[in-house]
Structure 1
Amino acid sequence: MKGLAKWVVILNLAALAVLAFVYPHLMVSPGKLADGHRELTRDCFACHAPMLGPSSSRCTGCHAVKDIGILTTKGAPITDKKTKVAFHQGLMKSACVECHTEHLGIGVRHVKPRFSHQLLDATTQRDCVGCHAKPGDDLHKSVNANCGACHGTGGWKPATFDHNKFFVFDDHHGRCTTCHRTADFKQYTCYFCHEHTPAKVRAEHLEEGIQDFEKCVDCHRSADEDEAKRAWRSLRSGTPYLFAPQPEFRREKKRRDDDD
């Protein structure tokens, strides 16, 4: 009896294996396909290699990499303006299933909600404008550096450029062009504020005995007048002044000074 039972088990397992191979969509499918793949419901091996799972080479058999975002799998032009021309040419070494999944049901998007830039090779990671449109404002028109100098891959905002390293804003600094008058933003002036006319700046500094006042940022890194005096005394003694970033304190002090 033991021998008979053993053969019954073996035959049943063999039958299940044959059924799974012949009718995988009935025996092992984890769920329904997305609407775009509905016609492949009975053809599991259109995407899956036997015993190995989904294969990227089978994906690109229908979705030609050079046509993704441009043509449908039937060769028709994609006219939906919301469809972005893709960057898949830079992902040839990555498996499709790292971003795309299936069997979640009809009407469900088969793209994971989060895309990781780590999937891209180093060259593609540096070529941000190969996928993203470059902003058209004056600041970005003048920037030739890599976007990663200010932006991370988690989102365009917030940018990591820290203006406080150069000058701490207060409530009066609203527009870049108030101080930066050239398109490349590399040059600046303090004379375009109504309080900072050349004559007034000259008179106030000469009154304090300061002859060299052309390079404002040597002493002024904020609206904190006391800090500027400390910086000037330090520079006069030949010791570089260490500016400590205290933006909230400086803004509050500027408000009090304005109210006096």
Structure 2
Amino acid sequence: MSDEGKRRWKGPPKNDKGSSGRRMGERKIIAYNAKDESSKRWIERQLSDPYVQRAKADDFRARAAYKLIEIDEKTGVLKGATRVVDLGSAPGGWLQVCLRRGVKEIVGIDLLPVDPIPGAHIVQGDINDPDDVAAMMEGLSGPPDLVLSDMAANTTGHKQTDSLRTAALAEMALWFAGEHLAPGGNFCSKVFQGGATPDMMNQLKQMFRTVKHVKPPASRAGSPELFVVAQGFRGKPE
């Protein structure tokens, strides 16, 4: 995965020797309060989110499982799928959905570790690393007939930057699909804001019979995410 797809840049600021202890202490208190307030808002949102409650009741690892369920109900992207690749599979909610909907062979890859799921072959690795991809594809008996991607870069708060980073990951997922997808197969990937970029849309229309954007109800109203669903793989463009 590109640097955009890798999560976390963190490091404590160095001590400013020119600052008094009092002023440094004030900065620490402000930072702590800001973090505490952000955590409080996140907890409140989780407690009031009906999808979070449903995920617990249905034993899904994440509320994101319902995004794929709703996408499938609208498009039938999982219909007939027997071999599936899930890119950016942590924490495993989409893997669970595929297995519960009858997928026989399902593999996943993520930079983050994913707890084992019976019936799924999961690799902690990078889709830009051929060895990691080969290790993942060992879990399939043939080419996948569905490639899923819920990959997204960590948000920065700057909408254009976040959109560009996620667009790069979506294009990476499409490249993977072009290399591995079986004829007639389907593709579903997260994109941001206006949807797939014009270049990506042009490629999708050449490679698939139908292409559409979906905003599943489980995607939070304030989130800029959309999903592009392409069905009927015709092959890579010349």
Q: Normalised by the shorter chain, which TM-score bucket?
A: under 0.3
Query: TM-score, structure 2 length as denominator?
Result: 0.23
Task: Judging by fraction of residues, say which structure has more strand.
Answer: 2
Structure having the higher Rg: 1
Highest relative contact order (Cα 8 Å, sep 6+), 1 or 2? 2
Query: TM-score, structure 1 length as denominator?
Result: 0.21
